Structure 1
Amino acid sequence: MAESLLFSLAESVIEKLASGVVQEASLILGVHSELQEMKATMALIRGVLLDAQQKNFLSSALSEWLRQIKRVFSDAEDIVDDFQCEALRKHVVKTYGGISRKVSHFFSTSNPLVYRLRMAHRIQNINTRLAKLAVQRTMFGLQIIDQDTRVVHVREMTHSHVNPSNVTGREHDKNQIVKLLVQDVHHQTLSVIPIVGMGGLGKTTLAKLVFNDPIIDACFPLKMWVCVSNDFELRNVLIKILNSVPNSTRENFNNFETEQFQNRLRNIIQGQKFFLVLDDVWNEDRVRWDELKEIIDVGVEGSKILVTTRSHEIATMMRTKFSNSYFLQCLSEEDSRSLFVKSAFEDGDEKKHPQLLEIGEEIVRKCGGLPLAVKTVGSSLFSRVDKKEWESIRDNEIWNLKQNEKGILPALKLSYDQLPSYLKPCFASFSLYPQDLSFTCAHISIIWGALGFLPPSKESESVIDITYQLMHELWSRSFLSDYDDMGNDCTFKLHDLVHDLATYIAKGEFERIDLRNPKISENVQHLVFMDNNLLAQAFPLTGLRSLCFPIGMNNQALLNTFLSRCKYLRILELSSYEFESLPDCIGKLKHLRYLNLQVSENLEGLPNSVCKLQNLQTLDLCGCIKLQKLPKGIRNLISLRNLIITTKQLDFPKGEIASLTSLENLYFYHCDNLESLFEGILLPTLKKLSLHDCKSLKFVSFDAITNLKGLSISQCYKLELWMGVGNQIPDSRLKSLTLQDLPQLVTLPQWFQGSANSLETLVIADCINFKELPDWLPTLISLKILVIINCPNLLSLPDSMHHLTNLKELKIFGCPELCKRLKHEVGQDWHKISHIQKVDIDESENEQEFSE
């Protein structure tokens, strides 16, 4: 299935070939015409890739052709990235010209003539292979499709009939939606209520239950059911609605104009209270929806439209002013079991097979509450009583079941097929992680940035801003679950079957290797090893882009071999690395963008060759408790965006930190000897700063960070927070502030008031001496989230809390006296917070745990 990612790779490489860096390098090296030839041939091949990806399962020859294209495009991307590496190297040499001889020697890999000849040879090899593949494309009868808008699998049309006795676990949902439909909503002529949820949840089945409910029959004289699917052309939707009108005469509409359609429909529904179901809506074009709505908004007051969709964006677009979306949840475990028994056994037969029921319990858990998954698996076992067959399905991937067009794989894969090409590799990368993991936007931004999945940033836009936008797209298409926006970051999970879908899609390119899945695909590019004993089998591989070693890598000779072979690595993870130092050859990984050494408790130093890694975007040294200091020359890491440090050094050379001109996020963890930071320098690019458990830290020049958006301080007991009486940082852009376990904190320092126009999230936790929120708190006009945890001496909130009109969420835990005063509706200070939409007050005296 990794072939589905090929189109996005082609687009990425072609875009890179057109970049200014590559154009300049090609002219200097005298290979401009060759690269233009490469780009043109790639564009020819890209034109037929979308059609080829749909047909490759029909032909082994076509599949092999696509695999060869994948290899040559990946090799071409390495060449393009090599030009970027060379440009960065030259920039460093030019920037530190005062020591140019030393720096040039430090970075040099070959003389210019040798480099030019080597690159020209590589480009010629690529062009020869591309030309051969371009000729071969005519053998397969492929069509040219320029944009990734083609839908691989189109869902069949739905109908309104359903037998309620065949539906399990949706009675409550049906009643809730019926209640929404029959109530009057502020004298609106037409109301729209969307049902939103991922594929396989049973949105259409629920809509059918509602459509056929007697209460709906009594309330709406005219009912219509339309399956919209991917076709939202106004003319076609109008025809479907006209044909769905009960007892209407079927007409030949071929010669009708749109004007005639809309007149005919308006005449039918004028003066009638109608109920219309628009099932399976995918189109996000607001203009088309507004056109349709304007035509049909002529019924009697109280007319309703029920929409089913997987897209939160569509739901937001279509719902009317006083209506809300109905977010459909997974079935309970009890309802899932009941549905499974119905699907797998004849009525009553389950009692004869207690052993099969036990296995069925485990199968049901794998289905994660998705009704379609439960039915798909249960139906595949119907009338089968062989225990081994049941165990085989329990121990196997759900995708290995025989799937028809109504199975769970097509249902979920349809959502994947609809993704724009730039989101497909982002989704596939989730397969590298275990199930049930809680992701953060901050971490995913590091991975997607390292793999080159993020589009170029716009002015004043950070990498995490771009990642946030892409994740919001995935959430809006119902790929992400438990989505929680915390202001400075967000967390989410993947439903188990959505994670399985990512694994299915990514197979052959992204792989997790463990004892259950020890086989490595020949063309794999991203590998996660879960066991040290499985490492040896990866030796033939040289084209890896991501390599994650098992926790506690303990074979240095093996590591040396990997680093010398896998020279195109973008990601290298060595968590809990067991040795005192890294091999010096790590400096040869010039494409490396993410180096993770967290919790390597024996690591005492990094080789100076690390500073050759001009492409490095993230260096994670969190938990390296024996690390004496950062290597000299850290300022040469001019692409470094994220630096996470645990070290014994007393201070950081001002020139080194100030020279990191790409640095956006800086985290200090357990730096016990550090006493001061940022005196006499400016850090204009820094967006987020975290200071955790730096016990000796006394002073931080916060005014050096002119564009700081996120600040987190915890367990820094000696830190001076006040910066002088009344001092503020003017024009501060701070959006998120977390203060945790700071016994010196009694009230908020005055200088935070400089963020009055920008601060959106404020968290104060475990500050046992914190006594008051300042009277100027209501000047924080942008504040949306306020969280106070385990601050027992905080007894009241400011009287002017009602001025915080943008405050949407308030959480207070572990503050016994304050919680009593804020008790819902009856507390003496309830009036101060009654205007807030979401209030969560825990009146128990038990301490709450807080994780940043």
Structure 2
Amino acid sequence: MAESLLFSFAELLIGKLATAAVQEASLAFGVHSELQQMKATMALIKGVLLDVENSQSNALREWLEQVKRVFYDAEDIVDDFECEALRKHVVNTYGSFSRKVRRFFSKNNPVVYRLRMAHHIQDINTRLARLAADRNMFGLQIIDHDTRVVHVREMTHSHVNPSDVTGREHDKNKIVNLLVQDGDCQSLSVISIVGMGGLGKTTLAKLVFNDTKIDECFQLKMWVCVSNDFELRNVLIKILNSAPNSTPKNFKNFETEKLQNLLRKKLEGKKFLLMLDDVWNEDPARWHELKEIIDVGVKGSKVLVTTRNHAVAVIMRTKSSNLYLLGCLSEKDSLSLFVKFAFDDGEEKKHPELLEIGKEIMEKCDGLPLAVKTVGSSLFSRYDKKEWESIRDSEIWNLKQNEEGILPALKLSYDQLPSYLKPCFASFSLYPKDVAIHCSHISSMWEALGFLPPPEENESMMDVANHLLHELWSRSFLSDYLDLGSDSSFRLHDLVHDLATYIAKGEFERIYLHNENISENARHLTIMEKNLVAQAFLHTGLRSVSLPEGMNNEALLIKLVSRCKYLRFLNLCSTEFKSLPYSIGKLKHLRYLNLQYSVKLRRLPDSVCELQNLQTLILLGFVKLQELPKGIRNLISLRSLVITTKQVDFPDKDIAVLTSLENLYICNCDNLESLFNGIELSTLKKLSLSECENLKSVPFHAIRNLKILVISECPKLELSMGVGSQIPDSRLNLVILKGLTQLVTLPQWIQGSANSLQSLLIIGCINLKELSDWLTILIYLKVLVISKCPNLLSVPDNMDKLTNLEKLDMTGCPELWKRFEPGVGQDWHKISHIKHVYNFDEKENEKKEYKKEDEEKKRGRKRRRRR
């Protein structure tokens, strides 16, 4: 663990020791003074952790490793108190009604438990005292708090537009010219943009891809993000899904032969441009396999490639190919970009001394756009000359470089993060590259690992996570950040991901091919391939484990569950286990259990309901699940529940008593006809109903406190929700209506959220004919997406009343776009006040309309280590 992460963890743990729940438990068990001693010694040790960051001493590193181990053991004790309190609560609430509950939850002898915990605390205090004394050997100074916090910058936009790109017009024009030249060659030609990470290859490719000359030249354009996954079948699926006018399909069960036939038919007779972004494949055979399929003999068809690796460009050459070496920004363009991020408009003129220092800093950035942007953002609103000189002269620039060469610049921004954000940032390393990450997922992980502070009144845990993500975005760590009110999504630039991996080394580990020096003390493991499981160290202190897709070694799962009793996070997504060990109920610290798409599981052991600490349970795609396990009402900590089941009768009463439940997702439950009969879910903040073909009714009274409502492909659902008009004082921030053939006009109850609704997304509602005139009362609306609604011909008059509306997306509404196309449409004046009016092509629509979570998971599978 990097020293800054250990400092952050110490702060979190000391804060937990001070909570009312732990104080009450320590008094009840007679260990209050011992815990106070533990807290004081931890605070002393924490005070010196910031003084060790640049040390190369092996002895000091070993001391830090010992500190890390004892801190984790202390956290286990603190969390054990919380588990015991929850256990007692369950027994007191349900024990008198059920012998089974008493058997599940009444296993601890109070006297024995008290003695055992007192012994553990005494052991930890002895170890802490020894470590506190040993610190004197290293001459460490106490630093009371982290002073490197920078101000949060409010960025003006979240998407890169052509006007926001600096210094790439010349490059764009050159590549466009290469693409539109047919020449005499009949074979497919490839243009490769090659350069080191951080140069903006993908940004340049986007400028090219959306140029009007390209639209005029090619009948068909397709954009595919490849990364390490160049397995033929997966690439074919991505290309098919990216083709315009194609409905994304689940090709999982299609044979490669059928996929290649479909693609050749799609390409036949069309001059096409295929964009392959971020290619790493160095195996010529794999490229030639793909080339043979897509080369259908149409003159002028092109493949545009971005890659960091010259070898990739060489193996993808054809007779008429070109290799375009992308260079760094000029000094002038670098400074121009730096000024955009380091100063408010025109502010640099007031600080000529800082601008001169900025020029020297730009020399260190060496024309790399990402480095310029991140360093500029870190200096925004800071006008102390000494601070600028400190960054210019910082030893961070002297760190050993990896091949990208800009980690020092990025790490400089990381070092200035508040300590509470550092473990959140490091956890990004557990995700694969090139995927969209949604707040709804990462908030569950952060909460399970104890990274989130407690919410304020009327605030959900996802709201807390959104605040942290917004802060990371404001510091330029997140790309394609989209704020939808109570939810958000984002991506990580490759180099930002590399930085997270660099920071997290030894604490968060992803095990993939060619791994070296995997830490035996890592607390968080993601195993990428079945045949790599042997490389994992399943030590007892593991906090989180993600097993690879297709994993079916039940003996290993039993070993994992029995050895790793302190697990907080267990991800078994897309595994092929036929059963779960009954002993899973002994993982009393477990807070997150993901069984998504574990299609061979028919049932869950009832012992799952012993997990009273469980906060997230994901059973999406659990197509063989006959019913939920008995006793689900005992999961009193559950905040997020995702269900796919064959049940006819939904367990309304069991769900109703889950007083912590905030997020409920009901998916592919084709036997359900009604929900929430006679109950009210007062704590629920998000409800998603997806692909429930026979669902007919959901009473709105049961969900009146919602902030997010998603209804997708439920063709029989009565959308009025039993409400004739608006519901006053409803609190919806985000509404998504998708694939609803019964939707002709907007449900009137949306009006009740006039004072809260920030995002309204209407996608694939082919029979929608009008947007009600009352739409203009939604004065807080920021994002309006109307996608694939071909029968919608107009928007209400007085759209100018929506003064907060920043984004209007009309993708897939051709007639509507004709009337409202910026600058030329006859009704453009009605919406000309809106900052961003879009009409994405199909691929951009897929990427930008926040509906590709499952597809984007596939992008991260079977990846080699980035070299």
TM-score by length of 1: 0.72
Alignment correspondent of 1:94: 92
The answer to whether residue 162 in structure 2 is matched with residue 133 in structure 1 is: no
8 Å CA contact retained: 1:173, 1:206: no
Find the aligned partners of 1:805 and 1:436 in 2 and give their Cα distance.
34
Alignment correspondent of 1:14: 14
Tell me which of 455, 459, 462 is aligned to 1:461.
459
Alignment correspondent of 1:26: 26
Aligned AA for 1:729? I
Q: Rate the CA distance shift 1:844–1:68 in 2: closer, same or farther, 3 A.
A: closer
8 Å CA contact retained: 1:664, 1:686: yes
> After superposition, what is the alpha-carbon deviation per residue over 1:667-710, rounded to whole angstroms, capped at 9, x for unaligned?
11111111111121111111111111000100001221121011
Alignment correspondent of 2:632: 634
Alignment of 1:589-738 (within 5 A): 589-724=587-722, 726-738=724-736
Alignment correspondent of 1:542: 540
Find the aligned partners of 2:149 and 2:775 in 1 and give their Cα distance.
52
Tell me which of 551, 554, 570 is aligned to 1:553.
551
Aligned AA for 1:77? E
Find the aligned partners of 2:85 and 2:441 in 1 and give their Cα distance.
27
8 Å CA contact retained: 1:698, 1:719: yes
Q: Rate the CA distance shift 1:576–1:766 in 2: closer, same or farther, 3 A.
A: same
> After superposition, what is the alpha-carbon deviation per residue over 1:701-732, rounded to whole angstroms, capped at 9, x for unaligned?
12211210111111101101124573332211
Q: Tell me the secondary structure at the aligned position of residue 762 of structure 2.
A: strand
8 Å CA contact retained: 2:439, 2:466: yes
Q: Rate the CA distance shift 1:25–1:439 in 2: closer, same or farther, 3 A.
A: same
Alignment correspondent of 1:572: 570
8 Å CA contact retained: 2:484, 2:734: no
> After superposition, what is the alpha-carbon deviation per residue over 1:323-382, rounded to whole angstroms, capped at 9, x for unaligned?
xxxxxxxxxxxxxxxxxxxxxxxxxxxxxxxxxxxxxxxxxxxxxxxxxxxxx9xxx9xx
Alignment correspondent of 2:41: 41
Alignment correspondent of 2:445: 447
Q: Tell me the secondary structure at the aligned position of residue 129 of structure 1.
A: helix
Q: Tell me the secondary structure at the aligned position of residue 700 of structure 1.
A: coil
8 Å CA contact retained: 2:807, 2:835: yes
Alignment of 1:94-493 (within 5 A): 94-99=92-97, 101-149=99-147, 170=167, 206=333, 225-227=352-354, 310=375, 315=380, 399-400=401-402, 408-493=406-491
Q: Rate the CA distance shift 1:803–1:513 in 2: closer, same or farther, 3 A.
A: same
The answer to whether residue 768 in structure 2 is matched with residue 775 in structure 1 is: no
> After superposition, what is the alpha-carbon deviation per residue over 1:204-254, rounded to whole angstroms, capped at 9, x for unaligned?
864658999xxxxxx99x9974248xxxxxxxxxxxxxxx8xxxxxxxxxx
Q: Tell me the secondary structure at the aligned position of residue 53 of structure 2.
A: helix
Aligned AA for 2:577? F
Find the aligned partners of 2:63 and 2:844 in 1 and give their Cα distance.
63
Deviation at 1:513, TM superposition (A): 0.8
Deviation at 1:312, TM superposition (A): 5.1
Find the aligned partners of 1:830 and 1:735 in 2 and give their Cα distance.
27
8 Å CA contact retained: 1:8, 1:424: yes
Alignment correspondent of 2:753: 755
Find the aligned partners of 1:627 and 1:398 in 2 and give their Cα distance.
52
Q: Rate the CA distance shift 1:69–1:739 in 2: closer, same or farther, 3 A.
A: same
Q: Tell me the secondary structure at the aligned position of residue 54 of structure 2.
A: helix
Aligned AA for 1:8? S
Q: Rate the CA distance shift 1:810–1:313 in 2: closer, same or farther, 3 A.
A: farther
Find the aligned partners of 1:726 and 1:33 in 2 and give their Cα distance.
61
Find the aligned partners of 1:581 and 1:848 in 2 and give their Cα distance.
35
Deviation at 1:97, TM superposition (A): 4.9
Deviation at 1:739, TM superposition (A): 0.9
Find the aligned partners of 2:166 and 2:786 in 1 and give their Cα distance.
38
Q: Tell me the secondary structure at the aligned position of residue 557 of structure 1.
A: helix
8 Å CA contact retained: 1:569, 1:592: yes
Q: Rate the CA distance shift 1:529–1:699 in 2: closer, same or farther, 3 A.
A: same
Find the aligned partners of 1:612 and 1:527 in 2 and give their Cα distance.
24
Deviation at 1:579, TM superposition (A): 2.9
Aligned AA for 1:697? L
The answer to whether residue 844 in structure 2 is matched with residue 821 in structure 1 is: no
Q: Tell me the secondary structure at the aligned position of residue 61 of structure 1.
A: helix
Find the aligned partners of 1:119 and 1:839 in 2 and give their Cα distance.
61
8 Å CA contact retained: 2:544, 2:568: yes
Find the aligned partners of 1:211 and 1:563 in 2 and give their Cα distance.
51
8 Å CA contact retained: 2:699, 2:722: no
> After superposition, what is the alpha-carbon deviation per residue over 1:722-777, rounded to whole angstroms, capped at 9, x for unaligned?
24573332211111111111111110122222112211111112112111111211
Find the aligned partners of 2:604 and 2:350 in 1 and give their Cα distance.
71
Q: How many pairs were matched up?
A: 655
8 Å CA contact retained: 1:79, 1:119: yes
Aligned AA for 1:99? F
8 Å CA contact retained: 1:197, 1:309: no
Q: Rate the CA distance shift 1:277–1:508 in 2: closer, same or farther, 3 A.
A: closer
Q: Tell me the secondary structure at the aligned position of residue 593 of structure 2.
A: strand
Q: Tell me the secondary structure at the aligned position of residue 798 of structure 2.
A: helix
Identity of aligned residues (%): 64
Deviation at 1:846, TM superposition (A): 13
Q: Which deviates more, 504-513 or 45-54?
A: 45-54
> After superposition, what is the alpha-carbon deviation per residue over 1:184-213, rounded to whole angstroms, capped at 9, x for unaligned?
xxxxxxxxxxxx999x9979864658999x
Find the aligned partners of 2:844 and 2:39 in 1 and give their Cα distance.
64
Structure 2: unaligned runs, 5 residues or longer? 151-164, 172-197, 201-326, 340-345, 363-371, 384-396, 852-867
Tell me which of 41, 53, 68 is aligned to 1:70.
68
Find the aligned partners of 2:361 and 2:841 in 1 and give their Cα distance.
44
Find the aligned partners of 2:410 and 2:332 in 1 and give their Cα distance.
16
8 Å CA contact retained: 2:337, 2:373: no
Find the aligned partners of 1:844 and 1:547 in 2 and give their Cα distance.
36
Q: Rate the CA distance shift 1:226–1:201 in 2: closer, same or farther, 3 A.
A: farther
Find the aligned partners of 2:333 and 2:656 in 1 and give their Cα distance.
59
Find the aligned partners of 1:450 and 1:97 in 2 and give their Cα distance.
27
Deviation at 1:506, TM superposition (A): 0.9
Deviation at 1:6, TM superposition (A): 0.8
Deviation at 1:499, TM superposition (A): 1.3
Q: Rate the CA distance shift 1:568–1:819 in 2: closer, same or farther, 3 A.
A: same
Find the aligned partners of 1:730 and 1:814 in 2 and give their Cα distance.
33
Find the aligned partners of 2:338 and 2:551 in 1 and give their Cα distance.
59
8 Å CA contact retained: 1:487, 1:785: no
Alignment correspondent of 2:388: none
Alignment correspondent of 1:508: 506
Structure 1: unaligned runs, 5 residues or longer? 153-167, 175-195, 213-218, 229-243, 245-275, 282-306, 319-375, 381-396
Aligned AA for 1:774? S
Aligned AA for 1:226? E
Q: Rate the CA distance shift 1:786–1:485 in 2: closer, same or farther, 3 A.
A: same
Deviation at 1:478, TM superposition (A): 1.8
> After superposition, what is the alpha-carbon deviation per residue over 1:379-436, rounded to whole angstroms, capped at 9, x for unaligned?
x9xxxxxxxxxxxxxxxx98457x9xxx633222211211111111111111112222
Deviation at 1:537, TM superposition (A): 4.3
Q: Which deviates more, 574-583 or 37-46?
A: 574-583
8 Å CA contact retained: 2:375, 2:412: no
> After superposition, what is the alpha-carbon deviation per residue over 1:444-468, rounded to whole angstroms, capped at 9, x for unaligned?
1111111101111111111111111
Deviation at 1:475, TM superposition (A): 1.6
Deviation at 1:8, TM superposition (A): 1.0
Find the aligned partners of 1:724 and 1:151 in 2 and give their Cα distance.
51
TM-score by length of 2: 0.70
Q: Tell me the secondary structure at the aligned position of residue 353 of structure 2.
A: strand
Aligned AA for 1:416? Y
Find the aligned partners of 1:461 and 1:770 in 2 and give their Cα distance.
34
Find the aligned partners of 1:211 and 1:484 in 2 and give their Cα distance.
23
Q: Which deviates more, 69-78 or 654-663?
A: 654-663
> After superposition, what is the alpha-carbon deviation per residue over 1:73-95, rounded to whole angstroms, capped at 9, x for unaligned?
00000000000111111111222
